[in-house]
Structure 1
Amino acid sequence: MKRRLGMAVVALLAALVAGNAEGQDVTSGPWVMQSSGSSAGLRGIHAVGGGVAWASGSDGTVLRTEDSGFVWQSCAMPPGAEKLDFRGIWAWDADTAIVMSSGPGDLSRLYKTTDGCSHWTLLYTNPDKDGFWDSISFEESDGQYGTMLGDPVGGAFTVLRTTDGGSHWTRVKSTSSPGLAADASKIGAFAASNSALVFAAQVLNSVDNENFIYWFAAGGTTGAFIFRGQSECDPQTYHKDPEHCSVRWKVTPDRVPLSSGKSSSGAFSIAVLDGDETIHHAVVVGGDYNDPTERSGTAAYWDEAGRRWIAATTPPGGYRSAVQILPNSGTVEDYSHLVWISAGPNGSDISYDGGKTWSPLDNGNWNALSLPWIVGPKGRIAKLDEGRLKRP
């Protein structure tokens, strides 16, 4: 949200600096601190695999590692990005990445590198003077198809689609009711960790890889919500006219039992488990960033059988801005035993039962996850040592 997240950084740092000052990092937890060489507030992180990861943050900062974090390289700054806040980053390999800045109007931009961040090309600038971008996600298949989420403009959430790797974007329309309709003064998404938007699944029996389901999280004075969106076309129609069907969505909002009623509260991050073209489980986290130590209303999980959201019985230790499934921690066939990790300004937590109950991992100050990495303010980067996890 445009008027809230800038305030969020100030509020969180002011509230937590006393208990999370530099030099007081928890080393007994599962996180191994790494040297980023930066003092930027980091909110973007994307682990590619093979020891490659990219991170992004305030003041036009982009970082990259090719050796599992032994060395984090400071990338060349994208042109004109000195004052930009890069809240999201998406990478495909050690050479190719897109970075997204979040800010009012034309301070929301996309840049792309194809040479390992030595040079950047400005791809797209927000054309809406009242707009504010929150999250970006690509389908993993070939890197061409992706979606971007922004706060409501003109009475509807901004959802944009690309089919050419981010060079061109088309606004999504919804014919369902209420669909994407939203009052920007009452509801919006949060650019807290680039995980408010998630590619949830392929459409069952789809004949096109790009026929998709996306979910996104939102909050505000009207409540906390997860919006489920997918093409309004059936698979056969999509195959005949993918250009039209890609940007015509049916969207269903679901109210979630998280902290709500304030502009600073709601759903901030969502992770979805899919397999065999079916959504099996999901977890959403959030809360109130102005009350970061309040535990109630900070996590919920999706019950696919009942198709409803249920509040965690033992929630995380406070407001959480990010949640993710630990890769390779389980299988779709045995998804109830997957490991879920959440993070926020007063620590990280772990759940072994699908988000029903959470246990603390540490009390560090964190913003975003792309496991095994976690990032936070003042250049904080750490890597998960799975050997330190205390499994039940």
Structure 2
Amino acid sequence: MSSARIGVKPLLQPASTPRYTNLMRLLGLLLLAVTATAQAQWDIEDQPTTADLRGVINTGGGAVWASGTHGTVVRSEDGGYLWQACSIPPGAEKLDFRGIQAWDENTAIVMSSGKGDLSRLYKTTDGCKSWKLVFTNPDKEGFWDAILKVTSKQLYLMGDPVDGKFAMFYSDDTGNIWSIADDPGLDAPKDAGAFAASNSSLTISVPYLFFGTGGADAPRVFHSAAKCTVGQTDGSCPIAWTSTPVPLASGSAAAGVFSLATRTTTNMAGKSKSIIIAVGGIYDKPDATAGTSATSTDGGLTWIPATTPPHGYRSAVAYNANRQILITVGPNGTDISTDDGKNWRPLKPLPGQEPDCDQHWNALSYPFVVGPKGRIGRLNTNALPK
């Protein structure tokens, strides 16, 4: 930027009239605008696959994993600069890997979504050279939607209703052995379901779990709570669930809550509060803006629709704690919010950038985003407000 200004300064230096001074300022602004085009919002990465990518997880230690159709898993060990295609898990050539969780560059667990035994979990501990099938859906009518690592050892797995209840499983040994979480309160309204759009319809704000639903029934967010008896303090209280309606688009099998993000605030008295942001809309009406975002500031008990919603259906949302910014993505663009989802504004490509670098995204794990045909992007934080 500074070298560009030095390049034009000698041409203007002899002039001393206000006219030339104004011209110099104008040229300086133009040069700044041209230089700014070097800053993309999503830097498009090299594509290691042509599969549609639906899940992504950034471990925070340089390891990034993504998953998608045709049994595809890809990973990076250097923060997304170089990507490699993994070996396909045995028997997974036709599976659709909608979710993935990882611990580091060597260990990850991937979830396929499909009816019955097409929903499976595979795990690798050697950097995806080999995979082990660790769990297959025991319900013939079941369909898995999301997998979530909540501690270094504990994971939860959520699926569509079976026999009138949302399916919930858990593992407390890094995903090797799974058990049914037959908790009260998981009863599903008629025609309700969840969405395996981005592996982010299930999330946590410690110590509570949340998942979003939709379908022909009104969208809802389920949230967990410990039900302790009087005097019970050993941490073994059973979990129960309650649900609350959410003012997002409804009335269609393609409508509802597709993704959740949470953040925790602490007041002056040291009391913490969970803020939950829900995004979604109508999957087959990607440009419809009504009912695409809502926020709860009381831990999911009540919800308020966005005053200025995202400009279309959104499949994933994430919170950037460093910048205190929410980012949400979908087929027709990217939006950001600096006020906990009350108001959203588009994050558009800058002049000179690919005109659709803000579009065609499925899943998000800050600062990475993935989409159809092997599309991978990395957010350039220079595009965010400071």
Q: TM-score, normalised by structure 2?
A: 0.83
1:45 aligns with: 56
1:216 aligns with: 211
Distance of 2:272 and 2:108 partners within structure 1: 29
Q: Does 1:270 align with 2:260?
A: yes
2:286 aligns with: 292
Question: Structure 2 matches for 1:366-381, cutoff 5 A?
Answer: 366-381=361-376
1:60 aligns with: 71
2:173 aligns with: 164
Q: Does 1:365 align with 2:382?
A: no
Q: Does 1:280 align with 2:289?
A: no
1:193 aligns with: 198
Give the letter for the 1:146 counterpart.
Answer: L
2:30 aligns with: none
Task: Work out whether residues 157 and 170 of structure 2, in 8 Å CA contact, stay in contact via their aligned partners in 1.
Answer: yes
Distance of 1:27 and 1:294 partners within structure 2: 32
Task: Work out whether residues 198 and 270 of structure 1, in 8 Å CA contact, stay in contact via their aligned partners in 2.
Answer: yes
**Structure 1: unaligned runs, 5 residues or longer:** 1-25, 203-212, 330-337
Q: Does 1:110 align with 2:87?
A: no
Q: Does 1:260 align with 2:250?
A: yes
1:182 aligns with: 188
Match of 1:249 among 239, 242, 248: 239
Give the letter for the 1:156 counterpart.
Answer: K
Task: Work out whether residues 201 and 278 of structure 1, in 8 Å CA contact, stay in contact via their aligned partners in 2.
Answer: no
Shift of 1:166: 1.2
Shift of 1:351: 0.3
Other structure's SS at 2:374 match: coil
Shift of 1:328: 2.0
Work out the number of aligned pairs and report it: 337
Equivalent pairs: percent with the same residue?
47
Structure 1 stretch 115-124 or stretch 164-173: which is displaced more? 164-173
Task: Work out whether residues 39 and 382 of structure 2, in 8 Å CA contact, stay in contact via their aligned partners in 1.
Answer: no
Other structure's SS at 2:117 match: helix
Distance of 2:300 and 2:320 partners within structure 1: 25
Other structure's SS at 2:307 match: coil
Shift of 1:120: 0.6
Distance of 1:33 and 1:27 partners within structure 2: 13
Cα distance change of structure 1 residues 134 and 97 upon mapping to structure 2, 3 Å threshold: same
Other structure's SS at 2:206 match: strand
Task: Work out whether residues 48 and 74 of structure 2, in 8 Å CA contact, stay in contact via their aligned partners in 1.
Answer: no
Shift of 1:303: 2.3
Shift of 1:231: 3.3
Which deviations, in whole Å up to 9, do the C-alpha atoms of 1:69-104 show, x marking residues without a partner? 221110111111000000000001011100000000
1:7 aligns with: none
Other structure's SS at 2:234 match: helix
Distance of 2:322 and 2:90 partners within structure 1: 38
Distance of 2:161 and 2:365 partners within structure 1: 27
Q: TM-score, normalised by structure 1?
A: 0.82
1:139 aligns with: 150
1:210 aligns with: none
Shift of 1:275: 5.7
Match of 1:87 among 95, 98, 102: 98
1:343 aligns with: 329
Distance of 2:38 and 2:144 partners within structure 1: 35
Q: Does 1:388 align with 2:374?
A: no
Q: Does 1:356 align with 2:357?
A: no
Moved over 4 A (4+): 26-29
Other structure's SS at 1:283 match: strand
Match of 1:119 among 108, 130, 133: 130
1:308 aligns with: 302
